[in-house]
């Protein structure tokens, strides 16, 4: 069985070879054009993140982004006027995030480090976010305890992870990849199926990929010591499941998936859980 260290090595391999969101991106990695298209691709993939992460509210705050990747959120916090810091396990991502800030003349600090052992003193930040990261780390409860520790009293955490109670999990990962394509029989668990299918890898890297129910996320935040915990579910696109993808590809198929129906599918089983909590004042 893979150890926590093996999973962390696999994460570094994964995102060194294939920076997150890089697939098919125009422009030389590190150039302004590259980061402009990275941001455009994020905004088209998940426009709801702007409101959920609330960049605009962070002017003048100390904000930490755990698992900052190529620095999309760090740059957006910085642009909104926050004193922004990012931390990531993958040195290549840290280099790219630093280049991201530099390409737009933004201020901010990005360092290499592990979200399960944050290298910051207690009470350093007013806000901590972690977007699409903690489902890749072996000990999410440890990372949540660390996030609580580095928050100031009254400070807020905004955590986004994959939702196990989602259409994508059940229809695409379990039913399609797992059963129809026979991956479950070959690799033995849905987590391993997701490790092969969720993140694009050009080198066959196998990072840890977990998914949590909204209830599990709420319980983990409460157990870590957060107050005012809320969870919501976001994100459903027709291409997220085989049946809706097939409908959308029919001539005029988009009319069969009107915005109101997609909105209901988001609430019933979107692919991301958003969990917020506050450190007691
Ligand atoms: C899917 S990417 C998301 C990046 C970024 N948050 C974004 O939204 O573009 C996952 C990131 O989490 C980082 N990561 C995984 N485990 C980590 C850990 N224990 N501590 C810090 N970063 C971690 C990876 O290196 C990678 O950069």
Tell me the pLDDT tens digit for each residue of 216-261: 999 999 999 999 999 999 999 999 999 999 999 999 888 999 999 9
Range of the domain at 17: 4-162+210-235+272-278
- Is 271 in contact with 172 (CB distance < 8 Å)? no
Which has the minimum average pLDDT: 167-176, 186-195, 249-258?
249-258
Residues 5-54: tens digit of each pLDDT: 999 999 999 999 999 976 677 788 889 999 999 999 999 999 999 999 99
Do the domain assignments include residue 28? yes
Judge whether 104 lies within some domain: yes
Q: Give domain status of residue 170, yes or no.
A: no
Residue 22 has a pLDDT of: 61
Distances (CA, A) of 8 to 136, 207, 279: 9, 8, 28
Q: What percentage of the chain exceeds 70 in pLDDT?
A: 99
Distance CA 84, CA 67 (A): 13
Expressed in angstroms and rounded, the spacing between residue 110 Cα and the centre of ligand 1 is: 13
Residue 187 lies in a domain: no
Ligand 1, atom nearest to 93 Cα: 27
In a domain, 21, yes or no: yes
56 within some domain = yes
Q: Does ligand 1 come within 6 angstroms of the Cβ of 80?
A: no
- Tell me whether residue 259 is in a domain: no
Give domain status of residue 253, yes or no.
no
C-alpha distances out from residue 39 to 17, 25, 73, 84, 194, Å: 20, 10, 9, 17, 25
- In sequence order, the β-bridge partners of residue 65 are 86, 129
Burial 12-34 (b: 16+ CB within 10 A, else e): bbbbeebbbbbeebeeeeeeeeb
DSSP 8-state secondary structure symbol assigned to residue 169: I
Query: Residue 31 belongs to a domain with what CATH number?
Result: 3.40.50.150
Q: Atom 16 of ligand 1 has which residue's CA nearest to it?
A: 137
Distance 132 CA to ligand 1 centre (A): 7
Instruction: Provide the domain count of the chain.
Output: 1
């Amino acid at each position: 069985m893979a150890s926590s260290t093996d999973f962390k090595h696999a994460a570094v391999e994964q995102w060194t070879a294939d920076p997150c969101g890089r697939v098919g991106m125009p422009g030389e990695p590190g150039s302004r054009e590259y980061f402009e298209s990275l941001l455009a691709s994020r905004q088209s993939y998940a426009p709801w993140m702007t409101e959920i992460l609330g960049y605009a509210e962070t002017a003048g705050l100390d904000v930490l982004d755990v698992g900052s990747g190529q620095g999309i959120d760090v740059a957006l916090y910085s642009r909104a006027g926050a004193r922004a810091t990012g931390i990531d396990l993958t040195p290549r991502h840290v280099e790219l995030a630093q280049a991201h800030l530099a390409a737009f003349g933004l201020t901010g600090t990005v360092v290499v480090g592990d979200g399960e052992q944050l290298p910051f003193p207690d009470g350093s930040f007013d806000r901590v976010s972690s977007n699409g990261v903690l489902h890749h780390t072996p000990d999410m409860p440890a990372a949540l305890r660390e996030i609580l520790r580095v928050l100031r009293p009254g400070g807020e955490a905004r955590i986004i992870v994959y939702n196990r109670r989602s259409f994508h999990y059940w229809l695409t990962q379990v039913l399609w990849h797992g059963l129809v394509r026979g991956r479950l029989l070959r690799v033995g668990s849905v987590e391993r199926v997701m490790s092969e299918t969720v993140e694009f890898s050009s080198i066959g890297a196998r990072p840890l990929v977990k998914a949590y129910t909204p209830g599990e996320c709420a319980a983990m935040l409460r157990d870590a010591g957060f107050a005012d915990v809320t969870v919501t579910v976001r994100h459903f696109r027709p291409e997220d499941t085989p049946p809706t993808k097939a409908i959308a590809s029919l001539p005029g198929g988009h009319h069969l998936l009107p915005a109101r129906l997609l909105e209901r599918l988001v609430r019933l089983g979107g692919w991301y859980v958003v969990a917020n909590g506050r450190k007691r004042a």
